[in-house]
Amino acid sequence: MAGQLGIEVLEGNVYLHNKQSALSAADWSRLTTYYETLAPEMLSDTEKVAPAEDWSIFSVHKPKADTQVISSTLLVDIDSSKNSIYASDLENPGIYRYDNHSGKQLFTKLQSSAIDICFPSSKQPEMIITCMGGMRALDVTKGQIFTLSPQNNSKPRLISDNLTRPIQTLPLDFNKDGRQDYLVCAFGHNRGGLYILKQKKNHTFEKVVIREIPGATDSIIRDFNNDGWPDVMTLFAHGDEGIWLFLNDQKGGFTTKSLLRFPSVYGSSSFQFADVTHDGEPDIIYTAGDNSDFSRVLKPYHGLYIFEGKGDFRFKQKFFYPIHGCTKAVAADFDNDGDMDIATIAFFADFDKRPKETFLYFEQEKSASQITFKTHVVPIYKDGRWICMNVQDYDGDGDEDIVLGNFSKGFLNQENVKPTWNVHMPYVLLENKTLPAKSP
């Protein structure tokens, strides 16, 4: 905080940087005294119903692990069209493919590790690859965005290499000119934001700013107001945390609407837009749990949230389940019973007292008045430490499978805690054993 206010604190002494300082020394002293007086020694844990420990509807499949390598997986995803798993790790820049959980094969070489893949579709024939440029939260870290045609084994085509730590890229034609543009979340540190790479007639790209605030984490593209034009909903973390809606003004820009705001210590980590309450109004599924900042203590407000849609882009908290260090949630009808279930991972879990919560499966139960889930601890907490997760039908049997990526290099916030899990396993696949839903 001191640095942001133009104040330097060195060995207990306060130094003001002339006109750059936003507070006087006296005001700074009063501010720090306020926190020191009122801040608790530790945060109280939140009571909750203990989950069941079972496999529920899943069975696990594992690739052969290289026992000489500590896993540093940053990306896992399922290509359901090829029954393959794609992965990228910190130590080997590039994307690797696993077929039938056999040894990895190099799919394409990259300048740095990939963190996001967007697979081809009818509207986007090429694969989109996002490389963050490195793990360190520095504004000088430049990532790259590539497109790649998977049919002819061509080299990746560079779209951009000057964005600060990009972590997600999605295709869209925001101005309806028939040329493919790209929406990019650039997390940054003190810089970053939400951008569009607008394709010009000569097929070069111009950066268009939607919101230039660091922490752009996750976006959804949809026609939210049903006017026939693509809009954007985005989660911002890091500082000014919250979820914003950007409505296409049909003139090459967007109008901004704030939907939800969160305290800057929450560590917002993921969100989805889906009808969990099955009332016809989409809800927001949100996780808080990024704990790699200045306050690396266990936080009782980390976990899984559901904000119920009330219409007219209004949302009210309906559900909370505390999960230390919750990193991501994916909602899907995993058991094919007509309602939304949820899978979560927690990279910054309580490895001392609650190591089993690194992966949880929330099976929605039928209720006329409220959202209720049966929570399952699927016993894979000894197989890895999950930093990434994706969901697709891997085996083509009509239900959603889950792939989890293991990152075991550092980031242990708790003192005297050492890995008790397999640090060599690159990923695991949770195969869904649910039978496909019967047609009415």
pLDDT tens for the chain, 440 residues: list them: 777 777 877 776 777 766 677 788 888 888 888 888 888 777 877 778 789 999 999 999 999 889 999 999 999 999 988 889 999 999 988 999 999 887 789 999 998 999 999 998 877 889 999 999 988 777 888 899 999 987 756 789 999 998 999 999 999 999 999 999 999 999 988 899 999 999 999 999 999 999 999 999 999 999 999 999 999 999 999 889 999 999 999 999 999 999 999 999 999 999 999 999 999 999 999 999 999 877 889 999 999 999 999 999 999 999 999 999 999 999 999 999 999 999 999 999 999 999 999 999 999 998 756 889 999 999 999 999 999 999 999 999 999 999 999 999 989 988 889 999 999 999 999 999 997 665 54
pLDDT at residue 88, rounded to an integer: 97
**Contact residues for 338 (Cβ-Cβ < 8 A; gap 6+):** 278, 437
Torsion of CA 224, 225, 230, 233, to 10 degrees: -40
Domain assignment present for residue 135? The answer is no
Does residue 73 lie in a domain region? yes
Closest alpha carbon to 184 in 173, 197, 172 = 197
How big is the chain by its Cα radius of gyration, in Å?
A: 22
389 lies in a domain? yes
Whether the Cβ atoms of residue 213 and residue 290 lie closer than 8 Å to each other:
no
Structure-block tokens of residue 392: 């697709």
Distance of alpha carbon 122 from its chain centroid, rounded? 25
**The pLDDT of residue 17:** 65
Strands (E), 192-274: 193-199, 205-211, 216-222, 231-236, 241-248, 254-262, 268-274
Q: Residue 183 pairs with which residues in a beta bridge?
A: 170, 196
Q: What is the pLDDT of residue 438?
A: 56
> Within a domain: residue 166?
no
Backbone phi, then psi, for 19, in 5-degree steps? Answer: -75, -10
For residue 247, being part of any structural domain is answered with no
In a domain, 170, yes or no: no
* Residue 430 placed within a domain: yes
Please tell me the total count of domains within the chain.
Answer: 2
Residue 95's nearest CA partner among 122, 77, 114 is 114
Task: Give residues with Cβ within 8 angstroms of 143, minimum separation 6.
Answer: 112, 130, 131, 132, 133, 161, 163, 164, 165, 166, 167, 186
Give the three-state DSSP class for 426: coil
Check: CB of residue 216 under 8 Å from CB of residue 185. Answer: yes
d(CA 127, CA 159): 12
Q: Which domain holds residue 15?
A: 1-26
Q: In what order do the strands lie in the sheet with 58-61?
A: 58-61, 427-432, 401-406, 386-392
Considering the domain boundaries, does residue 67 fall inside one? yes
One-letter amino acid at 45 equals: D
Nearest residue to 420 (alpha-carbon basis) of 326, 361, 327, 352: 352
Give pTM, 2 decimals.
0.92
